[in-house]
């Protein structure tokens, strides 16, 4: 690891970061595997499942945060590799959006972990609800910023002409769809669960795409 080049480490990060974040996202309380599939707009149900699965919440939220940060490093290396070609400026704008989104997601996870860890007394339902609402608001805004950021990054990759054009175009279209659905979910909480499911599906396709690029970066050295 000490002799690994930045390019190889970036490629490895584009593979490991998304894998860790996806697994952690799926096993988080209320994510479908642990505690069932809970509508994030339903604060009472969401808080309840967090309190019932505090151990799982602590582990999954920590790993999810690590996965997001590792993926961010990989994306920064990928965008920096565009310096000798087209798309660098657009890619850097996108990277800034993703940086802000990652910071927001980590902050949202920290607030949610405060509830799961029992830092708020169980009787203080109003306090727990306020903390959950704050975390949800940060998460919604972060999701919109991430969708915009990934759109710009993929635009930069498309402009560079270095990667599979058809796959890149597919991911670009899907990211544009995510921007729209994320904004809709933020404006109408009854649509939030649907928009979250759309975003999760698009995220899986997107990280498959970047993991493919990460593998190429590993081979390049």
Q: How confident is the model at residue 67 (pLDDT cuts 50, 70, 90)?
A: very high
* CA–CA dist 59, 80 (Å, integer): 32
| Secondary structure of the chain in HEC code, one letter for each residue | CCCCCHHHHHHHHHHHHHHHHHHHHHHCECECCECCECCCCCHHHHHHHHHHCHHHHHHHHHHHHHHHHHHHHHHHHHHHHHHHCCCHHHHHHHHHHHHHHHHHHHHHHHHHHHHHCCCCCCCCHHHHHHHHHHHHHHHHHHHHHHHHHHHHHHHHHHHHCCCCHHHHHHHHHHHHHHHHHHHHHHHCHHHHHHHHHHHHHHHHHHHHHHHHHHHHHHHHC
Tens-digit pLDDT profile for residues 147-162: 999 999 999 999 988 8
Domain-by-domain residue ranges, the chain? 6-220
Percent of the chain with pLDDT over 70: 89
Is the whole-model pTM more than 0.75? yes
Report phi then psi at 34, rounded to 5: -110, 115
Among 75-79, 124-128, 155-159, 204-208, the minimum mean pLDDT is found in 124-128
């Amino acid at each position: 690891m000490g002799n690994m080049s930045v390019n190889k480490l970036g490629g490895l990060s584009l593979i490991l970061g998304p894998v860790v974040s996806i697994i952690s996202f799926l096993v988080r309380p209320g994510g479908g595997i642990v505690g069932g599939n809970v509508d994030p707009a339903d604060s009472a149900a969401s808080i309840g499942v967090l309190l019932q699965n505090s151990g799982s919440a602590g582990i999954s939220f920590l790993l999810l945060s690590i996965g997001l940060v590792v993926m961010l490093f990989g994306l920064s290396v990928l965008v920096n590799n565009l310096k000798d070609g087209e798309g660098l400026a657009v890619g850097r704008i996108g990277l800034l959006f993703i940086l802000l989104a990652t910071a927001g997601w980590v902050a949202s996870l920290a607030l949610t972990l405060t509830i799961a860890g029992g830092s708020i007394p169980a009787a203080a339902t109003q306090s727990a609800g306020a903390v959950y609402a704050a975390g949800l608001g940060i998460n919604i805004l972060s999701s919109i910023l991430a969708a915009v950021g990934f759109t710009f990054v993929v635009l930069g990759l498309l402009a560079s002409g270095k990667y599979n054009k058809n796959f890149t175009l597919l991911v670009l279209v899907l990211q544009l769809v995510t921007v729209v659905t994320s904004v809709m979910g933020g404006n109408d909480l009854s649509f939030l669960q649907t928009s979250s499911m759309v975003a999760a599906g698009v995220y899986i396709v997107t990280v498959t795409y970047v993991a493919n690029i990460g593998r190429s970066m590993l081979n390049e050295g």
